[in-house]
Chain A
Amino acid sequence: MDKQIEELLPLYALSGLSAEEEAAVEAYLINNIESQIVLEKLMATVEQLPYGVSAVSPSPQVKSRLMARVRQNLRQEQEWQKQIQPSWAERLWQIFRWGWGMPALTTLTTVTLFFTLLWVQSLWRDNQTLRQELLTQQTLIAQLEENNQVANLLYNPQYITTIAGTEHRPQAVAQLITDQKATQAILVVDHLVSLDAQNTYQLWLIEGQTAHPAGLFAVTLQGNGVWLIDSEMPITSFNAIGVSIEPAAGSQQPTGDIILLGALFTG
């Protein structure tokens, strides 16, 4: 405890010190709780002193002047507030500029962009899947169409020709079923052998001495198969039909063994 400073506390409470002395006391008080308590008590006593003074009413003009000044101040404050009050657009901008608006907008934009990208990616995948499905459907439709044509031919045949195997494949047998217009036919073969990848069966429609290529086909492991033949000319205009073994790409004229051969529409 600093006795010299402690001695000054009553006069500090009474405001009886110079400015320098007051500053010294205040600096001392910061780290001296005991002295602060002593001072609190002294201050509480000093605060009672004004009550010991005789009350005197000021003239009514004092209050009038004071309240007029207050009202004028209120008007000024209201005017000032009107002037500084920003428009709703300015306030909104302030909120966005200095408040949570800008970070929120940035976050919202980023999140929206992220989910949009995810959505677009998902749409692209869906599109790919749908395209694939469409292709499959189109293939199935084509196959169904073909099957339908085959079925029509089978149920409404106009001409049926049986074709026998040659000496190269005597057990082979085939039937050619033709519709009424004779531009379409189905060839049903049996007892053939499944060929390797380098070879294929090729169908020939023969007119006089000329053989016209009419399609390539393969058979199942069991040696049978059904093929639809489309021809620009009526099949009835041809004399014979034959099947030969040709290289995988096919030939313009028969080059390999003819395994099936028969005359058309003789009966």
Chain B
Amino acid sequence: MDWNQLSDEELMVCVLARQEKALDILYNRYAPMVMGVALKIVKDPLTAEEVVQESFWRVWERAESFRQRRGSFAAWLFGLSRNLAIDQWRRIRVRPQAARSTAEQEKLERQMDSNPSVPEVAWATIQQNQVRAAMLSLPNDQRQVIEMAYFNGLTRQEIAAETNIPLGTIHTRARLALQKLRQLLQSEGGED
């Protein structure tokens, strides 16, 4: 059996049947993206690696819960790793530590992004480029709401408090941002 030819969902059936090779393949396929998301949220490589390990451990341990829901494996994996990362980020926030500046964070991401061991899957790269391009095309104020809610795990009240913007404006920006992203991704064929 050529494991690499199997779809994510087929591999999850194998995970459920306790085939560790299936988890190995899924890890190779998604660990860099999970790491990227985790790093963006927790802004610390070691903590992000903990998130990666815990995310895939949950894939192994909670495979049954994936089978019982609908949706793609990637969406399920990113959802659970994002939640883990945000939990970690909240713990870090309450602990006094030196915060990295945005410039430092971007530098770190660039360095790690150039790591030659990253398995670049062609379709993933294309999709990545499309989403990045779509995000960059958003007005800054709209992108900020997306970033703060999704990647920083802030609630609308926390965003309002941090940005001094009324709640209604935050609602509008979030709605417009998602509408525009959807249009852009659909036109690029990146979303069904």
Contact = CB atoms under 8 A, between A and B. Distances in A.
Whether both chains belong to one complex is answered with: yes
The DSSP consensus for interface residues of chain A is helix
A263 interface: no
Interface string B148-170: 11110111110100000000101
Contact of A67 (B18, B20, B148): B20
B134 interface: yes
Given A10-B175, A15-B149, A77 B191 contact: no
A247 interface: no
Interface residues of A, number: 41
Contacts of A54: 36, 109-110, 112-113, 128
Given A16-B174, A48-B185, A62-B53, A57 B157 contact: no
B35 A16 contact: no
Interface string A60-85: 00110111011101100100000000
B31 A53 contact: no
A9 B174 CA distance: 9
A14 B145 CA distance: 9
Interface residues of B, number: 72
A187 B85 CA distance: 129
Contacts of B31: 57-58, 62-63
B101 interface: no
Contacts of A18: 155, 157
Contacts of A55: 32-33, 35-36, 113, 118, 120, 124, 128
Contacts of A44: 182, 191-192
A67 B178 CA distance: 38
Contacts of A48: 127, 131, 181, 185, 190-191
A51 B124 contact: yes
Interface centre among B37, B40, B119, B151 (most CB of A within 10 A): B37
The DSSP consensus for interface residues of chain B is helix
A17 B170 CA distance: 12
A176 B145 CA distance: 143
B52 interface: yes
A69 B23 CA distance: 12
A73 B127 CA distance: 35
18 contacts: A7-B168, A16-B155, A17-B155, A18-B157, A44-B182, A45-B182, A47-B79, A52-B128, A53-B37, A55-B118, A56-B118, A57-B115, A57-B119, A62-B31, A63-B24, A65-B53, A73-B60, A77-B18
Interface of B: 18, 20, 23-24, 27, 31-33, 35-37, 39-40, 48-49, 52-53, 56-57, 60-61, 71-72, 74-75, 78-79, 82-83, 86, 109-110, 112-113, 115, 117-120, 124, 127-128, 130-132, 134-135, 145-146, 148-151, 153-157, 159, 168, 170-171, 174-175, 177-178, 181-182, 185, 190-192
Given A55-B113, A57-B118, 10 more contacts: A7-B175, A15-B153, A16-B150, A44-B192, A46-B150, A46-B178, A49-B150, A58-B49, A66-B53, A66-B57
